[in-house]
Homo-oligomer: A and B are copies of this chain.
């Protein structure tokens, strides 16, 4: 059994209006930041999962995403990275 670092993102589906993104876009424009648009805001998640292999980690994380971490009706999720925690620690990455 090993420890794995997982990075994933959860986004509203493109067809769903993003009120938070819209509000931030308006704030940026009203504060003088020009030339910015299409602002969308999602959730970035880091977690540590113990499992036998990267495939086992992916399976576990998909189950978490589909039941707890995202709402399949309105959101999509993307597993961005699965990496042995040891490798990340060596690369000086702190969690």
Contacts and interface: CB of A to CB of B under 8 A. Distances in A.
Interface string A16-49: 0000010011011001010111111111111111
Number of copies: 2
A73 interface: no
B35 A68 contact: no
A33 B63 contact: yes
Interface in A62-90: 63-64, 67-69
A92 interface: no
B43 A48 contact: no
B69 A24 contact: yes
Contacts of A50: 35-36
B48 A38 contact: yes
